[in-house]
A and B are shown apart, each in its own frame.
Chain A
Amino acid sequence: MDMTTPLVEMREISIAFGGIKAVDHASVDLHAGEVVGLLGHNGAGKSTLIKILSGAYRADAGEIRIAGEPVAISSPRDAKRHGIETIYQTLALADNVDAAANIFLGRELLTAWGTLDDSAMEAETRKVMGRLNPHFRRFKEPVKALSGGQRQSVAIARAIYFNARVLIMDEPTAALGPAETKQVADLILELKKQGIGIFLISHDLHDVFDLADRVSVMKNGKVVGSAHVRDVTQDEVLGMIISGKCPPGAVAGPGALRS
């Protein structure tokens, strides 16, 4: 195991929604320049766990540390201040405004007069979108008019534009075709090279094995176990997802099946 201080540590995080323990004493961590895959069935609690890190929810219990320091993240603004950017599973785009307005929402560029600098925002948007989706042209249209892949690019652009230290990607390729998925994979590797830590939530086990350094598997809100991808096989990880059985190559969590 890596012995340096992790960039992000989530320790013993719990949250319940009206009696349902969506996340139950879950602990995960992430180092700079590392990709950690979060796996698990639908409803396992992956999105909820990372939404606590991104400030969308407040944990009932548990601790979050950034670079070893305990931090309080009580709003999305707090998370962004710590350099945590998120691509939500639902994309979280305002459908009625254009790509630039979405990318800069809450962090608008202003003119010297304090008014919105739409031209500057559009210019920056053209740059960042040019990197993600070179054929994108519909800068003036509400994002509602865009295709699923284009919308996803806008959500990704918003997350990478602001020099994130930690990037959370919740099913970032769900709406993408093979070519676009490949682009996102390349992007992840590039960001990783820049030293950004990435939580990657995905359904696709192959993708995760290709991109991630480690995986953590969740089931019923609990962490089944965590492992370096080189220490476990895909079949073993599938077993963790389905039955909660923790293989010898993994560190068992509270959700592991006891034998």
Chain B
Amino acid sequence: MTESVPAPATPSQDAKSFADHLRAIEFDARMIGMIAALAVIWLGFNWLSGGAFLTPRNLWNLSVQTASVAVMACGMVLVIVTRNIDLSVGSMLGFVGMVTGLVQAQLLPGLLGFEHPATWLLSILAAVALGGLIGLFQGALIAYLAIPSFIVTLGGLLVWRGGAWWVTQGQTIAPMDSRFRPLGGGIEGAIGTSASWAIGLVICALIVAGIAFARRRRKRYGFALRPLWAEIVLAALACGTVVGAVAIANSYALPAGVARRLVEAKGGTWPEGGLTIGHGLAVPVLLALAVGVAMSFLARRLRFGRYVFSIGGNPEAAQLSGVNTRKVLMLVYGLMGMLVGIAACISTARLNAATNSAGQLDELYVIAAAVIGGTSLAGGVGTIAGAMLGALVMQSLQSGMVLIGVDTPLQNIVVGIVLVLAVWLDGLYRKRLG
């Protein structure tokens, strides 16, 4: 069946609009728009701050601060695509973070001893499992008992925030396991320059292989191909971005004292005039990217993702086609919960403490990131990459305003206005595209 070659596509025979043409070669104009908006924000803040925004230090911190919301935004895309919402993620993050802190600081040391090498992994697994279970539970209420998701997760917002307090009667748990802390970034969460280059090169190789593989498939079926120059430009841009990001992360120097200890720990001697050693990429950023790739794969290449989108487009049609819509919806919430678990680990590790107020207002940032990233609240439309970019846009705005000394109330006002503006512009764009 896969050997047969159908009539080749002949787009040139039809009068096609420019947008049709872009779509035929699977070119995402919307994504380009978002990247342009991000560039404007970055350049604007750089100008306003007298060049302090586009520094390795600031960009590195920006990437680390984005990680937690970006991870959750990946799940929120799927939730919103199914025409639902999850208002509970911030509170869930607080609760899961507290339980994880307790597991890590009291339960596991009691069982395995302090600073056991498995503690960090068991903590992460516990967080993901707990988040997943909470998500499945909320998802079951929504899917099988047909309680509106707005209500279930509004309840969750209150319940899990209260729960976060109950875990320790409000006490903060600190410090975290030393092997767990790198998850939060910071100096111990930077993987170093050589490892960063290695990872960067692997990513570039995967990008090129992916583009080549997709092209070969389309050729085999005789479908319209992107012009070769477009593929090459695309690959060059993607690889250039990766290499650029690694170069920036590597050029952010470790503090001299840390660098010196590092050198001496390896048995080297600290040279007279000092030495600069770069941070390299941060663990939470790599984690967020891995989550983004995995979720994109799930959304676009797996049956499950196809079901999620078809449910968003027309729940009745999905059901009549034999899709178990309730199960899919419940699993979407389970997945959302697992991602909250990962985000809880990142936040807890970054603070080096579990506090019951962690994740406050995160639900709003996560939803805003997804929506700014092009996820339609009407359902059926959204991309993981867009949501991650949306998270980066939101964090850039906030970091930039902090950098130029805008106080918190005004920050909130600006973020709110930008959110509304972005959704309005997106609506205009969609209408023009038809």
Contact = CB atoms under 8 A, between A and B. Distances in A.
Interface of A: 54, 56, 75-77, 80, 86, 88, 90-97, 101-102, 105-108, 110, 114-117, 119-120, 122-124, 126-127, 130, 137, 139-142, 145
B148 interface: no
Contacts of B309: 94, 96-97, 101
A141 B306 CA distance: 15
A95 B320 contact: no
Contacts of B327: none
Contacts, number: 108
B269 interface: no
A161 B177 CA distance: 58
Contacts of B319: 56, 76
A115 B210 CA distance: 15
Given A54-B320, A95-B313, A106-B322, A126 B7 contact: yes
A102 B381 CA distance: 15
Contacts of A93: 314, 317
B23 A141 contact: yes
Contact of B223 (A56, A75, A105, A122): A122
Contacts of A122: 221, 223
B24 A140 contact: yes
13 contacts: A86-B320, A90-B316, A94-B314, A96-B314, A107-B322, A116-B302, A117-B2, A119-B220, A123-B5, A123-B6, A130-B7, A141-B20, A141-B23
Interface in B12-38: 14, 20, 23-24, 26
A76 B2 contact: no
Given A93-B314, A95-B314, A116-B302, A106 B221 contact: no
B318 interface: yes
Contacts of B11: 137
Interface of B: 1-2, 4-7, 9-11, 14, 20, 23-24, 26, 217-218, 220-221, 223, 300-303, 306, 309-314, 316-323, 380-381, 434
Given A94-B313, A105-B323, A119-B217, 17 more contacts: A56-B319, A94-B311, A94-B380, A96-B309, A101-B310, A105-B306, A105-B317, A105-B321, A115-B302, A116-B302, A119-B220, A119-B223, A120-B2, A126-B7, A140-B23, A141-B23, A142-B313
Contacts of A80: 322
A119 B322 contact: no
A130 B1 CA distance: 16
B314 A92 contact: yes
A195 B110 CA distance: 72
Contacts of A76: 319-322
Nearest to A130: B7
Contacts of A126: 6-7, 9
A156 B330 CA distance: 31
Nearest to A138: B20
A116 B301 contact: yes
B387 to A, nearest CB: 17
A77 B319 CA distance: 9
B11 to A, nearest CB: 7
A81 to B, nearest CB: 9
A97 B311 CA distance: 10
A101 B317 CA distance: 12
A90 B315 CA distance: 13
B223 A110 contact: no
B312 A96 contact: yes
Find the residue from A92, A106, A124 having the highest chain B CB count within 10 A. Answer: A106
A117 B319 CA distance: 22
B228 to A, nearest CB: 19
A105 B318 CA distance: 7
Contacts of B320: 54, 56, 76, 86, 88, 92
A146 to B, nearest CB: 11
A48 to B, nearest CB: 14
Contact of A137 (B5, B9, B218, B313): B9
Contacts of B1: 120, 124
A97 B303 contact: no
B266 to A, nearest CB: 42
A126 B2 CA distance: 13
B343 to A, nearest CB: 27
Contacts of A88: 320
Contact of B381 (A86, A96, A106): A96
A169 to B, nearest CB: 15
